[in-house]
Structure 1
């Protein structure tokens, strides 16, 4: 796995692994990968680890872009996580796998439906120069 400037926070082990591989395939690299546990975004836990991890990566000088990936969170927890992501000083890509609707991208916050789209958005934000045709070919597999 290539080192880079994209930090990943994952409440899905398989999703985190897939996202990191796709980032590598698109020419990017990972600074940190923090696993929160699959139940972190449940109503009971409230996203405690994901919220802390966003703060850790926000303060990490090696991380310039943050990518979040998880199974669908509890609605109230999703709101808290998105609120924290909006307040982050670094760009954040959010991928809640299986979510029916995908919110519209906004300043500093981008949304993705799957790991491939999340990886591509994170790599593009990270400043890795890549020809568009290469990105299109890789994303259409």
Structure 2
């Protein structure tokens, strides 16, 4: 994958990241090698995939809550998957911030790629948040009446 300009017909010299080369101007992106930049993009994308995979797992587990398949192991799995997903979301948010800082002077292609990743992350986090609410609601609904009273105080 090239990080050069996507509009090859422009005039003037170009730096390796697609922006114009000017005396005294050094874009932030040149402080990171293209392969390192690619690695951060790849890790971010992989993390978003992991968040979505965890959401699918949580949705399947949610279907078992309150049924004959509802076990302590299922609830522990729900909890640990949520904890792991929270960590991945935190890590991914930090990567997106890092990418934002790195590519501020980079190519249009990189900026578009980052915008797409931000949108995908936002959508994934929204879906995960909605699912967390459903899990919490279902879990509360399944508490014995005595425990519900204590939780509401």
**Shorter-chain TM band:** under 0.3
Greater per-residue helix proportion: 2
Structure with bigger gyration radius: 2
Specify which structure has the bigger relative contact order, considering alpha-carbon pairs within 8 angstroms and separated by 6 or more residues.
2
Identify, as 1 or 2, the structure richer in strand.
1
Normalised by the size of structure 1, how large is the TM-score?
0.28
TM-score by length of 2: 0.26
